[in-house]
Amino acid sequence: MKNIVIIATGGTIAGSGKIGKATDYHAGKIDIKEIIDSIPTINEVANLKAIQLFNVDSNEMDEKHWLCLTKKINELANCDDVDGIVVTHGTDTLDETAYFLNLTVHTYKPIVLTGAMRPASATSADGPMNLYQAVCLASSDEALGHGVMALFSSTIYSGRDIQKVSNFKIDAFDQKDFGCLGYMYDDKVLMFSRTFKKHTLQSIFSKDLSEELPAVGIVYYYAGAKVELLKMMADEHQGIVIIGSGSGNYSRVWLQEIERLTNQGIVFVRASRVNQGIVYKSDVFDPHNVCIPSNTLSGQKARVLLMLALSKTRDINEIRRIFDEY
Ligand code: SIN
């Protein structure tokens, strides 16, 4: 049997509330050992070791938690007697952590994030099955080399592309137009696709990760949004991701302010409030080519990449290249 380490960070999978109810609970309450003990055959899949690294609602996660998690995963992945790692996590910010880990962990061993939409105390909680299948996936040779993955509702997602699409249903995730990497058929792993974008061992950020990350903020564009929002964000941040309308768009006064702030050294990325499609170079909304398109990354994932990119360089052409590669 393979040796799998489960790193628990909290979330609804460790949530507790009124017995039988799926709402009105607190995330990050139950110890991982208790959750493992509730899954009948999980110990027949792999030799398990559990580490309770944090026990928080994932809305409490920040860059410090991400850096700590990467450090712990790298430390474990370096051990010959660890074959794969499962991370339990709240679903609210799981997409951000998954992408951060995908870019910063230095291993080809399987790393699988999972969680739940219903607390452990609910009738028909989804956490135990998700965790069981995440352990099966992390134990499988099929999972090698895919970068950081996430497992939900018997579906395997890539850490780069996973996004939360429902704040209510247990099938709460998808991967935009890219479908998924594969399925779990009970304990069997069935992979069907692979990401072309750089991750883990090929990622420059996995080789030499900074201890501190530059401040990057997100500003949401809406009809009539004032430019003062950009000015305020620029006071405290080195980089700004704009969640624009349509294909990463904004008004002409915003464009003028973006160009002015660029001259003062702020680095801008254009993402979109539309969840599908692509944000690409635009001669209309970025005529002087100062605002880097996020491609298919959501605003919050573009922020993760911009933070990492700014930790290496402030050269806008180099950052643009990074956005094309990752
Ligand atoms: C959280 O993200 O920690 C709470 C919500 C969830 O896990 O579904």
One-letter amino acid of 230: L
Task: Extract the tokens encoding 162.
Answer: 């996973």
| Predicted TM-score (pTM) of this structure | 0.97
Pocket test for ligand 1, best of 9, 25, 59 (most atoms within 8 A of CB): 59
Using CB distances shorter than 6 Å, the residues near ligand 1 are: 11-12, 27, 57-58, 90-92, 115, 117
Which atom of ligand 1 sits closest to the CA of residue 58? Answer: 3
Residue 176's pLDDT band, with cuts at 50, 70 and 90, is: confident
Cα dist from 198 to 67, 70, 71, 163, 195, whole Å: 19, 17, 20, 18, 8
**Which among 268, 246, 305, 309 is positioned nearest to 99, based on CA atoms?**
305
Q: Please state, in angstroms and rounded to a whole number, the distance separating the CA atoms of residues 129 and 283.
A: 48
Q: What is the mean pLDDT of residues 30-53?
A: 97
Give the chain's count of helices (H) and strands (E).
Answer: 8, 16
155 annotated active-site: no
CA 171 to chain centre: 17
Residue 56's pLDDT band, with cuts at 50, 70 and 90, is: very high
| pLDDT tens digit sequence for 206-240 | 999 999 999 999 999 999 999 999 999 999 999 99
| pLDDT tens digit sequence for 139-148 | 999 999 999 9
